Amino acid sequence: MIYLDNAATTPVRREVLEAMWPHLTGDFGNPSSHHEVGESAARALAGARSAVASALECRASEVIFTAGGTESDNLAIKGIALAAPRGRHILTTAIEHEAVLESCDYLCRFHDFEIEFLPLDNSGLVDPVDVARLLRPDTTLVTIMHANNEIGTVQPIAEIAELTRAAGVPFHTDAVQSAGWLELGLRTLGVDAISVSGHKLGAPKGIGVLAIRTAVALEPLLHGGGQERGHRSGTENVAGAVGLATALKLSTHSTDKVAAVARIRDIVIDGVLAVVPEAFLTGSRDSRLPSHASFCFPGTSGEAVLLELERHGIVCSSGSACAAGSDDPSHVLIALGIPPEVATTAVRFTLDTTTTEADAGEVVACVAGAVAALHSRAS
């Protein structure tokens, strides 16, 4: 099998599992317990927190462990908006993950916030000039994803952050898809809050982090025992935190890694566009995740292409895993102006460092065969 759905999830890395194992077995304590078993768990959690802080360029006290990307996004958006609103205006984009869009929708429905969507070009890019134009004295939060999960487009986050900083408006970015692939951190990006999810990086599902500057007020979503400095009550997932810290350390961005994966991605992109003339790439060609190739195949159905590819041992997706199973066209592609009947022909390949040139060649050949078979069945 050639697994090309790494944007949906990744296998847990051996080193991650090995780092976690002691904290699931012998060293199983509750970090809040006042005895040696608890204190040992607290030390492990503190070590994981420091490691995550150094990967995300913040202080250990600015790391909040969560149950994943969805919770980190919810906590950042609702937590910042409800803590100290300058007003009730939030700037975002229509191509965010559902965790962001639904959090904004909640604030709109239950707390009278006004959600404004930034214009996008047809590759999904935000122009910082529009952010400058649309920031208002009552803007409480700007939330723009670092890289899109469906089309791989990477936003000019650092440029936008200069504008939000000058305006004194908190800026959150969902970096769930870019972590491990792009340089990121509170300092590098200049943002106030970053969401990351473990299972996209070789850590298990159910662990994530929100890194957030101390200066930004945050209302908790979960109330209880006051763990995570009162920001996120609930007994900490020590093993998960250790796993996430290990995965972040192992998957740290490197120019060589990015160049190697981007080269294989380009073989897929150029090859597919050459063998299926009516196909087009979705998202930006230049400002794109190194691991991401996504297309529309007009005249087919994305689900049918997936089935054909799976018969040949290639596992990929028709877009977001969260929308999987739904026949609705992707909100991301619709926001880019792609007609619904074309948006339903989308197929996404997301690579990792183990994807080879031979895999890329096989993908191109199988896509050509799959699309030709579907066209001949339809005629």
Residue nearer to ligand PLP on the CB measure, 147 or 267: 147
Using the rule CB under 6 A, give the single segment among 159-167, 172-180, 237-245, 261-269 that binds ligand PLP. Answer: 172-180
The C-alpha angle 106, 325, 69, rounded to 5 degrees, equals: 45
Q: Assess 145 for contact with ligand PLP (CB under 6 A).
A: yes
Q: Assess 97 for contact with ligand PLP (CB under 6 A).
A: yes
For 244, counting Cβ atoms within 10 Å of its Cβ (0-12 exposed, 13-18 middle, 19+ buried), the class is buried
Residue nearer to ligand PLP on the CB measure, 70 or 139: 70
Task: Estimate the share of the chain in helix, then strand, then coil, as percent rounded to the nearest 5.
Answer: 45, 15, 40
Summary count for the chain: helices (H), strands (E): 13, 12
CA distances to 210, 234, 239, 244 from 16, in Å: 20, 23, 10, 8
Q: How many residues bind ligand PLP (CB under 6 A)?
A: 16
CB proximity list for 371: less than 8 A, separation 6 or greater: 276, 279, 297, 300, 305
One of 6, 10, 40, 70 touching ligand PLP (CB under 6 A): 70
Tokens of 94: 């229509």
Residue 357 CB, nearest approach to ligand PLP (Å): 27
One of 5, 174, 352, 359 touching ligand PLP (CB under 6 A): 174
For 376, counting Cβ atoms within 10 Å of its Cβ (0-12 exposed, 13-18 middle, 19+ buried), the class is exposed
Residue 97 CB, nearest approach to ligand PLP (Å): 3
Q: Assess 177 for contact with ligand PLP (CB under 6 A).
A: yes
CA distances to 59, 92, 93, 173 from 104, in Å: 28, 9, 11, 14
φ, ψ dihedrals at 106, nearest 5°: -60, -45
Residue nearer to ligand PLP on the CB measure, 197 or 330: 197
One of 29, 31, 68, 271 touching ligand PLP (CB under 6 A): 68
One of 85, 190, 208, 243 touching ligand PLP (CB under 6 A): 208
Using the rule CB under 6 A, give the single segment among 64-72, 211-219, 232-240, 273-281 that binds ligand PLP. Answer: 64-72
Residue 371 CB, nearest approach to ligand PLP (Å): 26
Residue 322 CB, nearest approach to ligand PLP (Å): 6
Residue reference for tokens 């060609």: 285
Q: Cα separation of 325 and 23, whole Å?
A: 36
Looking at the chain, list the stretches that DSSP marks H as alpha helix, in order from N- to C-terminal side. 14-24, 36-55, 69-83, 98-111, 128-134, 157-167, 186-189, 238-250, 255-275, 302-311, 331-335, 340-343, 357-378
Q: Which of these, 352, 278, 289, lies nearest to 316 by C-alpha position?
A: 352
One of 40, 197, 227, 345 touching ligand PLP (CB under 6 A): 197
Residue 305 CB, nearest approach to ligand PLP (Å): 21
One of 29, 31, 69, 243 touching ligand PLP (CB under 6 A): 69
CA distances to 240, 290, 343, 366 from 268, in Å: 34, 12, 20, 11
Residue 3 CB, nearest approach to ligand PLP (Å): 16
Q: Which of these, 264, 266, 319, lies nearest to 296 by C-alpha position?
A: 319
279-318 footprint of ligand PLP as x/- string (CB under 6 A): ----------------------------------------
Active site residue 296: no
Residue 266 CB, nearest approach to ligand PLP (Å): 22
Q: Cα separation of 44 and 37, whole Å?
A: 11
Residue nearer to ligand PLP on the CB measure, 12 or 145: 145
Contact 23, 244 (CB under 8 A): no
Catalytic residue among 108, 296, 322, 366: 322
Residue 232 CB, nearest approach to ligand PLP (Å): 14
One of 56, 90, 99, 316 touching ligand PLP (CB under 6 A): 99
One of 10, 149, 155, 237 touching ligand PLP (CB under 6 A): 149
Binding region for ligand PLP (CB under 6 A): 68-70, 73, 97, 99, 145, 149, 174, 176-177, 197, 199, 208, 321-322
Which residues form the catalytic set? 322
